[in-house]
Structure 1
Amino acid sequence: MDKASMIQKVKSCIPPLDGNSHKGQAGRIGIIGGSLEYTGAPYFAGISALKVGADLVHVFCTSSAATVIKSYSPELIVHPLLDQPNAVNDISPWLDRLHAIVIGPGLGRQNKTFEVVSELIKTIKSKSIPLVIDADGLFLITQNLDIIRNFNSPVILTPNKIEFERLCEKVKGYSELNKLGENIIVFKKGQTDEIFCASNVAQWKLNEGGSGRRCGGQGDILSGSIATFLHWMTSKEDKLNMSPDDKSIASSMSCYAASILVRKCNEKAFRIYGRSMVAGDMIEFIHEAFQELYGE
């Protein structure tokens, strides 16, 4: 599809601001991540999901990260449960409330954390919740791809260049990425964003907008944005004219919607801040970029 067609399909899935919905319908998003060393990443992912249009965001992090993340914004609901003795049992009941989940921002690579997250992914799978996996979440699943096998709900992997190379090495070549599963897509981030999946119809490339500035946090903004769009797309799949064989369309369109939005935010922020631009500067432009692309 051309850009105009893709934008129109995205717009058809965005919930209208007509006063007829209640709190939560536009998206309850979960972020699993946040550790002693990394507190900014889950904040960027969570606040971006809200700024794009989700109603509520829950962050499940370690106890050492919780107070810091809370201090960044009162908008985020923060649960310091990830390193508790009964973490899986404590977090699992919350999952039923969520429309989409992002795993990875600021997660860290502690073995105990990975054990908890691996069990949570099994629970997410059983509940058929759409899933976005980024950052250290990708490091975890690249070690054991069986964790994401046979998902009935969408799974979006969002590797950067290095993470993509690791993933390709694991599966013995990028051509094998299409065989990860019919509900799994790989969204490769870079100078050109690109989709790899089993469906030819769902594949696209995008190098529009953006800038040469590569400050940390942009991938977190992207993953949070994808999660909100993913809820909207999967809620209104009938608007996408999907055939039963194209199960990746909703995921692919979510990635496209977020990709072009974040690239426009980057471009706008760079015009003002240039080399001094940081990820927080991009968040200021989410509303403006959203309006230009999709209207209210």
Structure 2
Amino acid sequence: MSETNDPALWRSLLPWPGPDAHKHQRGRLGVVSGGMLHTGAARLAARAGLRIGAGLVRILCPPDAGPVIAGAMEAVMVSDFDTAEALATLAEPLDCVVIGPAAGLTQATASNLKALTGTTAALVADADALTLFKGRAEDLFACLEAKDVITPHEGEFERVFPGLLGQGRETAAVEAARISGAHVVLKGRETVIAAPDGRVRVNRNGSPWLATAGSGDVLAGLIGGLMAQGMEPFEAASAAVWIHADAAGRFGAGLTAEDLPGLIPAVLGNLA
């Protein structure tokens, strides 16, 4: 049976820093970027990860994207890689890595995801890292563990789990988590968060203003940022989904994805 996602369920688990905290103790998040013309999604996710409290955020990108990203970011670090093996080496010291936003529907993205599974970092797989596996979902599932989260909207969900939505969103999300072995965030008006062990929550504070390009990239960064700080994936996903929607509701009309990271401090302030 599902429960309604509410701060009372996870507020006490939010990773507030202690008086002696330093950046490495607050979690290290990586975000994999696409090429030089496709860096915006990774930048949105990275900014969200910083705002939610990750102490160190690093964008991992193809060499041609490095100068573009470095010229657009300040507190976010940038490292480039030219092979999947090099990406894995960069990711090894990190606590969580987000992969998929504008990563590209290419074999390189599949190879990068597979390489990341050999590291100790937890994964948040979104967007292209899901769509890429249409018709070969078993290859995706082989890259996932219970410590990981996938964040499909209904279109992406149908590509990876064809036919499941006919059972209803809650049942479909629970079954998808069981099949994949990972946590599932099925995005929508009432986002469903499901764990491989059968736990399920439904988020009911959704905002229609989130129907804008890039908002899902921000959510992936929020989830990854909380996971990097040591929050358990089911709780991290629950908190991030609620915070994401509350931030959008505070802004209202005219919201763009670029606005969302800057709204996070006010939401966190009310949860402290």
Native 8 Å contact 2:33 2:59 kept in 1: yes
| Aligned twin of 1:132 | 124
The residue type paired with residue 196 of structure 1 is A
Partner of 2:261: 283
The 1:110/1:151 distance shift into structure 2, 3 A limit, reads closer
The reply on whether 1:22 has 2:22 as its aligned counterpart is yes
Shift of 1:221: 0.6
**How much has 1:2 moved relative to structure 2?**
6.2
Distance 1:167-1:101 versus aligned 2 partners, 3 A rule: same
1:38 maps to what in 2?
38
Residues 146-201 of structure 1 deviation map (CA, whole Å, 9 limit, x = unaligned): 3433755512110012111212218797374143244x12110111100234323x
Distance 1:203 1:56, change over 3 A: same
Q: SS where residue 30 of structure 2 aligns? A: strand
CA distance in 2, matches of 1:189, 1:213: 11
The Cα shift of 1:207 comes to 2.2
Is 2:4 the counterpart of 1:7? no
Cα distance 1:21–1:143, how it changes in 2: closer, same or farther (>3 A)?
Answer: farther
Matches within 5 A, 1:251-270: 251-270=233-252
Question: In structure 1, what is the equivalent of residue 203 of structure 2?
Answer: 206
Query: What is the TM-score with the length of structure 2 in the denominator?
Result: 0.86
**Aligned pair in 2 of structure 1 residues 114, 171: CA closer, same or farther (>3 Å)?**
farther
C-alpha displacement at 1:9, in angstroms?
5.0
Cα separation, 2, equivalents of 1:277 and 1:187: 22
Separation in structure 2 between the aligned mates of residue 63 and residue 206 of structure 1, nearest angstrom: 39
Instruction: Identify which range, 36-45 or 162-171, moves more after superposition.
Output: 162-171
**Which residue of 2 is the match for residue 240 of structure 1?**
none
Change (3 A) 1:139 1:24: same
Structure possessing the higher relative contact order (Cα contacts under 8 Å, 6 or more residues apart)? 2
Other-structure match for 1:107: 103
Q: 1:11 to 1:221 in 2, by over 3 A?
A: same
In structure 2, relative to structure 1, the CA distance for the partners of 1:9 and 1:230 (3 Å cut) is farther
- The answer as to 2:111 corresponding to 1:116 is yes
The offset of 1:101, in angstroms, is 0.8
Partner-residue secondary structure (3-state), 2:45: helix
* Alpha-carbon distance in 2 for matches of 1:107, 1:13: 31
Residue 17 to residue 179, structure 1, CA distance change in 2 (3 Å): closer
- Aligned CA distance change for structure 1 residues 178 and 151 (closer, same or farther; 3 Å): closer
Structure 2 match to 1:217 = 214
Percent identity, please.
Answer: 23
Partner Cα separation in structure 2 for residue 79 and residue 30 of structure 1: 10
Distance, in Å, in 2 between the alignment partners of 1:119 and 1:2 is 34
Structure 1, unaligned stretches of length 5 or more?
235-249
- Structure 2: tracts of 5 or more residues without a match: 167-171
Deviation at 1:16, TM superposition (A): 3.3
CA distance in 1, matches of 2:10, 2:244: 15
Aligned pair 1:161/2:154, yes or no? Answer: yes
Corresponding residue number in structure 2 for 1:227: 224
For 1:171 and 1:189, locate their aligned partners in 2 and report how far apart those are by CA, in whole Å.
15
* Aligned pairs (5 A) from 1:14-93: 14-81=14-81, 84=82, 87-93=83-89
Q: 204-213 or 168-177, which moves further after superposition?
A: 168-177
Are 1:177 and 1:197, in contact at CA under 8 Å, matched by a contact in 2?
A: no
Mapped contact 1:129–1:153 kept (Cα < 8 A): no
Name the CA distance, whole Å, in 2 between partners of 1:142 and 1:158. Answer: 15
Q: Give the CA deviation at 1:110.
A: 3.0
Is the Cα contact below 8 Å between 1:52 and 1:228 reproduced in 2?
Answer: yes
Structure-2 separation of matches of 1:210 and 1:171:
25
Task: Report the AA paired with residue 15 of structure 1.
Answer: P
Contact 2:31 2:98 in 1 (8 A): yes
Report how far residue 267 of structure 1 moved.
1.0
Q: State the Cα RMSD in Å.
A: 2.5
Which residue in 2 is equivalent to 1:195?
193
Question: Does the residue aligned with 1:254 lie in a helix, a strand or coil?
Answer: helix
Separation of aligned partners in 1, 2:163 and 2:38: 26
Aligned partners of 1:107 and 1:136 also within 8 Å: yes
Equivalenced residue count is: 264
Q: Which amino acid aligns with 2:69?
A: I
Q: Going by fraction, where is helix more abundant, 1 or 2?
A: 1
The secondary structure found in structure 2 opposite 1:69 is helix
